Structure 1
């Protein structure tokens, strides 16, 4: 149902973008251009084959904004509901009270999750839009209406990690403007970290402020393992990304070299966080050093938090695989993380999601290399960006053959919906074995 719904959703968006009123000039969008834009917007990726700001009319912009708004809300809602369903089926609390509750979500749970997602999304988008509109009005726009138009568009695009911008150079012209870049960074970071984490942290903060009882402890040590892993891993990867971009691009004359020290720090921070799924860039991605490109590939593949607007295999998947490796190196038969044992099924799910994602990226890269003359470095970057719904580009998207652009559409669609459905299906369809075969130990390594 989810797959069918998104296919219909993208089909409607494609049809609307094919209308003459959707383009700014007399030239109409081709089917592939409309399909690619609709898929990129609906899957909140940000890759484009035409200039969004100049090619499409205000009607076209409204369609695009509507698509990545609904795409962001839909993915967050679906992912949150599936995550809650999985957690309730696998959690200890459900096992203890299984005789009084069903394994399905109650109406109150569904209503709370959906309303919470919508409220959080609109609140963050509204606050971001106020900051951006004010800045556009002061420094860039010709009128308050234009400032509001640009502010709302980029606020919604930022929080939903859509990566669409009305200017052809993304955020490069604002490389020295913290009043634009900081609100955008905050918005796409909150969207990427995931709704369950934000919901739990805010709930603990409300409990702390509301309760005066000294025995009530809502400190981070009482957060769930998911929230702890997400925040810790997200923070570590953010530091790695920011430090790497600043270090490798500091003296690069094609990117950050000509900037002042403060501008370099601002641009490096933005570009270091961008691979987590924002799709915006403040420096020319195609001119980055090979080391920065490789690190960006890795960060894009990992992505952000579960049940958020970020793509990738998710930071929890990446962290769990790291904990599994650490336990194996220590010779420990089980995996323990932050005072909790990690179930074997969760470990297998993380490994499955990671390996299938690697296979998808490799398959798409090989296909596009076979039908184009672009280098491996640029094609791999583009494929990872598409499958992990990031939206960063080295500038080859529009130059690819139509077949290559269709492949990117498939990758965007699969990357946006696939990991969520795959992980949930693996958890919800677990079946115990009724017997075990004799054990054998193949040679490893």
Structure 2
């Protein structure tokens, strides 16, 4: 698409995210947003607004004590906007006002969501219904638990329930407690619903919709209800990749972190075996999505940080609020390598052949993300006094929009704050969106060069 014909859809998506971040920065910098009644420094407000809009969860300030009710509302709204998608909201408003979606909004929504769905109206309303259903589910659990067990006033219980329900489903990792979820680590009535909500959100909206529709068909005979749709016997390739990939990462991450931290006196060591297992599961899921933590991250071993780095790099499913390169990308990359090792010509996954364009896209995503991580790590190593382990952990957390802190965020210099803000924005938009939004024009060659095979490997 030429620049003379207007902005590319991905450029508008990037611009929309930047605009909402700047608006959030302005609101959070106001004195009415803080408990002290003083203005928040620009870079701290920018960092928090970026973290909320990109559903990351990192913060240079104490979210619980620095911001007042107005500040918490702004952060929650930024999380909701960032999770649903700013262009998604705009398209939804157009549907409500005009009853239709323009071609431009279709292009913008598919660019932002990474989905090629033809029924954009159905996609948006499905996303909205799913978001409100699971947020409402979690809100009910949290509200009554805060009210009855922790004796919160009803308005505080409601406010904390709403905030953490929004943060959990959108995989934001923001908590109204300085220690994240460590204070509730032994309370299954809070930890388990948050865990379930985060995990479901991490599998992505298309997979959730397919699971819901298949469940309806299964339950219809029992409920003596007739459904007016049919589905193929075989699950879609996207859902199979997402569910199996999520299971492998869940089991593998749980085993790795549990094995490494089992006797660590700073984390799992003092706990009974059943709490060790649950905390290991929690620690394996959160780095791929939300960034809540039930054990002290700073007390974990360097080897556990490396496992967490890998989980943050992979992230959750496509068309979800999770970050990372996404499970689908990781699986496609694995099968590309597997195919090459076996000497086959076509990449096949689950009796389906992958198009070459998708293979190139997966390689591009991994390559661009890796270069960004390497470049940011080198810059932070040169400009900050922190160790390489700490820097790598924070960079993976920012690019993966996870929100786990290696102990750097509160004491970073202004340059590092701005750089990490850019990393969070990059992680939310995705390397493909960033790359195509920067490219002002596309060129097509009308000729091909002769082939030659250089030596590799």
TM-score scaled to structure 1, two decimals? Answer: 0.89
Q: How does 1:55-94 map to 2 (within 5 A)?
A: 55-74=66-85, 77=88, 81-82=110-111, 87=116
Structure-2 residue corresponding to 1:10:
21
Partner of 2:348, secondary structure, is strand
Structure-2 residue corresponding to 1:124:
134
Determine the C-alpha separation between the residues in 2 that align with 1:377 and 1:412.
19
Cα pair distance change 1:180/1:202, threshold 3 Å = same
Cα pair distance change 1:387/1:84, threshold 3 Å = closer
Determine the C-alpha separation between the residues in 1 that align with 2:306 and 2:273.
24
Unpaired segments ≥5 residues, structure 1: 89-104
- The answer to whether structure 1 residue 372 and structure 2 residue 381 are counterparts is no
Q: Which whole-Å deviations, capped at 9, do the CAs of 1:224-277 have from their partners, x for residues lacking one?
A: 111111111111011111111111111100111112222212211111111112
Structure-1 residue corresponding to 2:395:
383
Larger mean Cα displacement after TM superposition, 292-301 or 142-151: 142-151
Structure-2 residue corresponding to 1:306:
318
Determine the C-alpha separation between the residues in 2 that align with 1:83 and 1:68.
16
Partner of 2:156, secondary structure, is helix
Determine the C-alpha separation between the residues in 2 that align with 1:279 and 1:301.
13
- The answer to whether structure 1 residue 358 and structure 2 residue 370 are counterparts is yes
Structure-2 residue corresponding to 1:265:
277
Deviation at 1:208, TM superposition (A): 3.5
- The answer to whether structure 1 residue 33 and structure 2 residue 62 are counterparts is no
Judge conservation of contact 1:160–1:309 (CA < 8 Å) in 2. Answer: yes
Deviation at 1:432, TM superposition (A): 7.9
Judge conservation of contact 1:77–1:117 (CA < 8 Å) in 2. Answer: no
Q: Which whole-Å deviations, capped at 9, do the CAs of 1:51-101 have from their partners, x for residues lacking one?
A: 10111001100000011011101169499734888646xxxxxxxxxxxxx
Partner of 1:380, secondary structure, is helix
CA RMSD of aligned residues (A): 2.4
Displacement over 4 Å in runs of 4+: 75-80, 83-86, 216-219, 422-426, 429-435
Determine the C-alpha separation between the residues in 1 that align with 2:187 and 2:125.
34
Structure-2 residue corresponding to 1:51:
62
Determine the C-alpha separation between the residues in 2 that align with 1:232 and 1:425.
32
Partner of 1:398, secondary structure, is helix
Deviation at 1:2, TM superposition (A): 0.8
Determine the C-alpha separation between the residues in 2 that align with 1:51 and 1:422.
30
Determine the C-alpha separation between the residues in 1 that align with 2:360 and 2:437.
13
Deviation at 1:378, TM superposition (A): 0.4
Judge conservation of contact 1:77–1:113 (CA < 8 Å) in 2. Answer: no
Deviation at 1:433, TM superposition (A): 6.3
Cα pair distance change 1:65/1:145, threshold 3 Å = same
Unpaired segments ≥5 residues, structure 2: 1-11, 90-107
Match of 2:160 among 142, 150, 154: 150
Which structure carries more relative contact order (alpha carbon 8 Å, separation 6+)? 2
Determine the C-alpha separation between the residues in 1 that align with 2:16 and 2:302.
39
Determine the C-alpha separation between the residues in 2 that align with 1:377 and 1:181.
28
Partner of 1:15, secondary structure, is helix
Deviation at 1:431, TM superposition (A): 8.5
Judge conservation of contact 1:175–1:266 (CA < 8 Å) in 2. Answer: no
Deviation at 1:4, TM superposition (A): 1.1
Cα pair distance change 1:283/1:383, threshold 3 Å = same
